[in-house]
Homo-oligomer: A and B are copies of this chain.
Amino acid sequence: MQFRFKIVKKSKKSWARAGILETPHGRIETPAFVSVATQASVKSLTPEDLKNLGAEIILANTYHLYLRPGADVIKKAGGLHKFMNWPGPMVTDSGGFQVFSLGWGKVHQIGKIGWFPGYEEVRPPREVGPLKLVKITDDGVEFTSHLDGSKHIFTPEKSIKIQEDLGADIIFAFDECTSPLADYEYTKKSLKKTHNWALRCLKVKKKREQALFGIIQGGEYKDLREESTKFISSLPFDGIGIGGSLGKTQKDMFKILKWITPLLPEEKPRHLLGIGRPEDLENCVKHGMDLFDCVWPTRLARRGTLLIKNGRLNIGNSRYIKDFHAIEKKCGCYTCQNFTRAYLSHLFRAKELLYYRLATIHNLYFTLGLMQKIRKDILVGKL
């Protein structure tokens, strides 16, 4: 197998590490932010744009691609790399999170436009009704397509089969992602399922050229997180994902990571699933994480929020209509090098397609740049 993870520097001040992850489609310097290409496209960007931004690795979603265009289409295209013309390293998730979004995510008002751990500015989760679009059994998950209402089943075996058809370099075990509102009893039962599914994924996975990562669940319960960390770490996975509820605040998240990290095998890469706000990244790296993925920077961009050193800039604010400065003075991104806040404000107000690309470029550049800085700080012993 062409998958190898090498730690090149360990921090003396924290659990941070700088590493190099080798995959069949190239190497990634870690810690790294994985840009999200949900439907085989980082929204509004070409592969060239991504290369220019310094993006080394992207993540596509098994659930979305299974429903459209279908794993058969992508397999016939020669895999996701060829289908979307992305030559570099790629990850697919297992579908577990999307099943959660359709299920508890909807019922608890979390997910697409809702709440993330530590995103306190968004309405907190609350129970609004029973599961509707998803039925979770010991065998797998029955769900209703968000596209056309058709019925489907994901099992661990099926998730792996689809991910093999998609052909990413890193694939994930099928898990049940639990909600921040799940109680201890539910989480405990769910964890048993996730662990059983992890074994089934390992059993059926065939392709040597793909790395399989297991996922630690256990919600915000110390004994369950520890149990899951030990169990998943004991299995022959190529890397470890940390998924599920990381509590209700950023503080909760770090508390949970403090339970997990000391129990993790040092030699395996660790992917903190779904986390990627600038204010989370450095601290999560200090807590021993190597990989991150999140729609936050790109989704935020499309909604008018641009990342800057001192926080965020809402381009919809009328103060920017006549502001002829770049988003950020010293930013080296294509958008800041070529366009003003006034122009972006205009494009945003006019809903011009170009806005979405320029804003996405800025927010991704910011996030990827932050990761590069964090890595450098580890290498020089600053972090």
How far in angstroms is the closest Cβ of chain B from A175?
25
A342 near B73 with CB under 8 A, answer: yes
B346 near A40 with CB under 8 A, answer: yes
B343 near A84 with CB under 8 A, answer: yes
A357 near B46 with CB under 8 A, answer: yes
Q: Quick check: is A85 within 8 A (CB to CB) of the other chain?
A: yes
Cα–Cα distance between A136 and B216 once the two chains are bound (Å): 70
User: How many A residues touch the partner, as a band?
Assistant: 35 or more
Of the listed stretches A195-203, A348-356, A369-377, name the one at the interface; the rest are far from the partner chain.
A348-356
B322 near A76 with CB under 8 A, answer: yes
Cα–Cα distance between A44 and B338 once the two chains are bound (Å): 16
Chain B contacts for A349, CB-based, 8 A: 68-69
Nearest CB in chain B to that of A70: its residue: B321
CB < 8 Å neighbour of A342 from B39, B77, B346, B354: B77
Cα–Cα distance between A69 and B338 once the two chains are bound (Å): 19
A:32-86 near B, CB below 8 Å: 39-41, 43-47, 68-69, 73, 76-77, 83-85
Given contacts A47-B338, A76-B322, A76-B324, contact A69 B354 (CB under 8 A): no
Q: How many chain copies? A: 2
Fill in one digit per residue for A10-41: 1 if any B CB lies within 8 Å of its CB, else 0: 00000000000000000000000000000111
Chain B contacts for A85, CB-based, 8 A: 338-339, 343
Fill in one digit per residue for A352-383: 1 if any B CB lies within 8 Å of its CB, else 0: 11101110000000000000000000000000
How far in angstroms is the closest Cβ of chain B from A323?
10
Given contacts A76-B324, A322-B76, A338-B47, contact A69 B345 (CB under 8 A): yes
How far in angstroms is the closest Cβ of chain B from A94?
20
How far in angstroms is the closest Cβ of chain B from A129?
28
Q: What is the interface of chain A, defined by CB distance below 8 A to chain B?
A: 39-41, 43-47, 68-69, 73, 76-77, 83-85, 321-322, 324, 334, 338-340, 342-343, 345-347, 349-350, 352-354, 356-358
| 21 A–B contacts from the bound complex (CB under 8 Å) | A39-B346, A39-B347, A39-B350, A41-B347, A41-B352, A43-B353, A44-B353, A44-B357, A46-B334, A46-B354, A46-B357, A47-B338, A69-B321, A76-B322, A77-B324, A77-B340, A83-B340, A83-B342, A353-B353, A353-B357, A357-B357
